[in-house]
Chains A and B, each alone.
Chain A
Amino acid sequence: MIRDIEQIRSFFPYLQSADSGGRTLIYFDNAATTQKPRIVINAVSRWLVDANANVHRAVYGLAATATEHYEAGREAARALINAASKDEIVLTSGTTASINLLANVYGQRYIKPGDEILLSEGEHHSNLVPWQMLCERTGARLRYFPVGEDGQWDLEAAEKILAEGKVRMVSAAHISNVLGIVNPVGELTALAHRYGAHIHLDGAQGIVHAGIDVQSIPCDFYSFSGHKIYAMTGTGVLYGRRSLLETLPPWMGGGEMVDTVTYGKTTYADIPLRFEAGTPNFLAAATLRPAIDFATSVRIPQVHKNEEEMTEYLMRELNSIGGMRIIGSGGKKVPLISFNVEGVHHSDIATLLDKMGIAVRSGQMCSEPLLNKFGQTGAVRVSLAAYNTMRECEAFIAALHRVLKMLK
């Protein structure tokens, strides 16, 4: 049992480290990637020694061990989102890879000229560009439903577009990496299905701050990245409902994804291996298990309460700064806040905060259309994880005041 945040911090070597001046660093860019707990770091170094053999191929013991670890990663991902079967979990290198895979195989099977794909205005480039590419290839049309001034979805507008009857696929973020609001994905899923469309949810941030049960919110597809929930980089998941996933053709061809191959013709493996051509990043994928175990173990009331308090504190303190513009102020806010201060450039703020040992994100955050919609060329973003503390938030706010004094 986890006792408190201090105990959680003790699991992360990075959080114990300090810079050359003996200062502990504040890491507030968790939406980009999280630091890694010791169980993940140790697992990788141990498995490199005692479980490094190619998976799903050979009969010797070492290969069986490696395959077990890899498949345990898949099972952990299944359990995390409560998928009905492990076969519905395709292991990828990240959310981006998941969505590219989906856009390609789904497009091949289901998209014809004149069909429509519906996204929200608040999508990460990873959930926008692959669909744009698909539309260019197939003659389908990309539509967007609006995000309001406060960052919340306009579901009525979404429904109007769906009611025109041409949308085959809806794809939208569970939580936007800029707005930090838990979107009403259950309602959107119901809407999509009512009008005969399929739905994919980009869960890169949602898996971290909201979690999903794909049986109670019956989306057709759900993507997320392992590295944002404490697993190694190069890990990701595409969940697909079995009845639909089974209808999709493969994308990349190669080893592992086949049933039988002759010089003339190949028949393909069943799901999910059909979509996992070549040697996967099996060691990284295996870390999904310890990482998800860890992520699950910190889903305790104390951590929730801490995150809520930090979010509330940051929103209040930021809002009290003159010229503050928070992008995504409405709805159910998670500890992921993007902002600008009038007359000050986001990169100047981030540069000076870095000098004070605080890592925040600045720039377009892979969401150029969304920021442009809000009249911004970029923004500063703070995003917290289970190991961040109120003390760090206070230090950040104090540092921000100092920075603004220098810049104004």
Chain B
Amino acid sequence: MAETEKTVKQVQQEIVDEFSAFGDWMDKYEYLIELGHSLPVIDERKKLEDRLIKGCQSRVWLDSEYRDGRLWFTADSDAIITKGIISLLIRVYNGRTPEEILSADNSFIEEIGLRENLSPTRANGLLSMMEQIREDALRYKDR
């Protein structure tokens, strides 16, 4: 089943299940680092200043494309853990309609024990990334 045939909730639950198998934080972060390495990176030409997410200690670029009523994201970061977290977000939100994105919640982040990454002071700016994804969804909602 392609990811988009599942609901947002289903994909989130899959991620939660995967993470619950890890014994300790080391395994979890090693996995995030691995995910970070495998993230298909953004086209260099799209690493534009206005797609650079502000408020991150690491630099994060997030680009979206809107095709056939769905949003597709590519992203990059200079920090590998941040990239790993982005890849989780992309797995959940890629190929979704704006409505699906806007009605989703992100409690799965907490469930997989990355809650500290949600604090507003946190360097990797997960919160700003999610805001950017929602903003893009809003932009295309009434097209």
Assembly CA distance A363 to B78 (angstroms)? 12
Assembly CA distance A355 to B30 (angstroms)? 12
The interface on chain B, measured as residues whose beta carbon lies within 8 A of the other chain's beta carbons, has a size of 15
Interface centre among B29, B33, B57 (most CB of A within 10 A): B57
Q: If the complex has contacts A362-B123, A407-B33, are A347 and B82 also in contact, measured as CB distance less than 8 A?
A: yes
Within 8 A of A (CB), among B113-143: 123-124
A59 at interface, CB cutoff 8 A: no
Chain A residues within 8 Å of B29, by CB: 351-352, 355, 406
Closest A residue, CB atoms, query B122: A351
Assembly CA distance A378 to B79 (angstroms)? 11
Assembly CA distance A1 to B50 (angstroms)? 59
Q: If the complex has contacts A355-B25, A378-B57, A407-B80, are A347 and B33 also in contact, measured as CB distance less than 8 A?
A: no
Q: If the complex has contacts A362-B57, A377-B59, are A347 and B25 also in contact, measured as CB distance less than 8 A?
A: no
Assembly CA distance A362 to B81 (angstroms)? 14
Contact among B33, B82, B124 for A406, CB-based, below 8 A: B33
Contact among A350, A352, A355 for B123, CB-based, below 8 A: A350
Assembly CA distance A40 to B78 (angstroms)? 41
Chain A residues within 8 Å of B74, by CB: none
**Contact of A363 with B123 in the complex, beta carbons under 8 Å:** yes
What's the minimum C-beta distance from A336 to chain B, rounded to whole angstroms?
Answer: 19
What's the minimum C-beta distance from A116 to chain B, rounded to whole angstroms?
Answer: 32
B4 at interface, CB cutoff 8 A: no
Contact among A347, A352, A355, A406 for B58, CB-based, below 8 A: A347
What per-residue 1/0 map shows which CB atoms of A332-347 lie under 8 Å from chain B? Answer: 0000000000000111
A348 at interface, CB cutoff 8 A: yes
Chain A residues within 8 Å of B82, by CB: 345, 347-348
Q: If the complex has contacts A355-B25, A355-B29, A406-B33, are A348 and B80 also in contact, measured as CB distance less than 8 A?
A: yes
Assembly CA distance A355 to B25 (angstroms)? 7
Within 8 A of B (CB), among A99-141: none
**Contact of A347 with B30 in the complex, beta carbons under 8 Å:** no
Assembly CA distance A378 to B82 (angstroms)? 15
Chain B residues within 8 Å of A362, by CB: 57, 123
Assembly CA distance A350 to B79 (angstroms)? 11
Chain A residues within 8 Å of B80, by CB: 345, 348, 407
Assembly CA distance A352 to B117 (angstroms)? 12
Q: If the complex has contacts A363-B123, A377-B78, A407-B80, are A345 and B58 also in contact, measured as CB distance less than 8 A?
A: yes
**Contact of A345 with B33 in the complex, beta carbons under 8 Å:** no
Contact among A345, A364, A406 for B79, CB-based, below 8 A: A345
Other CB < 8 Å A-B pairs besides A377-B59, A406-B30, A407-B80, 6 of them?
Answer: A346-B57, A347-B124, A348-B81, A351-B29, A352-B29, A377-B78
A binding-site residues for B, Cβ under 8 Å: 345-348, 350-352, 355, 362-364, 377-378, 406-407
24 A-B contacts, Cβ less than 8 Å apart? A345-B78, A345-B80, A345-B82, A346-B57, A347-B57, A347-B81, A347-B82, A347-B123, A348-B79, A348-B82, A351-B29, A351-B81, A351-B123, A352-B81, A355-B25, A355-B26, A355-B29, A362-B57, A364-B57, A377-B59, A377-B78, A406-B29, A406-B33, A407-B80
B binding-site residues for A, Cβ under 8 Å: 25-26, 29-30, 33, 57-59, 78-82, 123-124
Task: Give 3 closest A-B pairs by Cβ, nearest first.
Answer: A345-B79, A363-B57, A347-B123
